[in-house]
Homo-oligomer: A and B are copies of this chain.
């Protein structure tokens, strides 16, 4: 009667799981004085620096406004610097953030992995990754059906 399609069941699971694991990740990262969202942004900056806000927004799938606010917070905390450069702002990590990331990154990767390593075999993880990749890629091309 309710939630009856297999797709909607998957959807629910995905939502609940990501919600749950996000909260746990936040708790985990508290020891480094970071949130999951901040970590996500810092990783992208570290990987692609120097880059503009537009580019960064795209990478973390957040709007221009969202990235502007997030960077304001990160700048206040001394994790990143924005340099007005031409008509764009170029973002890069501070030494402080660089040092923290060096320390956090392996731990966070291990933490993320443990959600899957503990219950799925290598083979199953590959299957899950392949399925989710297809679903994700498709969703990026998807259009909202008209009203």
Contacts and interface: CB of A to CB of B under 8 A. Distances in A.
* Number of chain copies forming the complex: 2
Nearest to A5: B113
A18 B14 contact: yes
A145 to B, nearest CB: 7
A129 to B, nearest CB: 5
A116 B15 contact: no
A28 interface: yes
A16 B137 CA distance: 10
**Of A24, A31, A128, most B-chain CB atoms within 10 Å:** A128
A13 B132 contact: yes
Contacts of A5: 109-110, 112-113
Contacts of A116: 6-7, 10-11, 135
Contacts of A84: none
Interface of A: 2-11, 13-24, 27-28, 31, 40, 43, 47, 61, 105, 109-120, 122, 124-129, 131-136, 138-140, 142, 144-145, 147
Given A10-B129, A14-B14, 12 more contacts: A5-B113, A6-B116, A10-B125, A11-B115, A14-B18, A15-B40, A21-B139, A23-B61, A111-B145, A119-B135, A127-B127, A131-B131
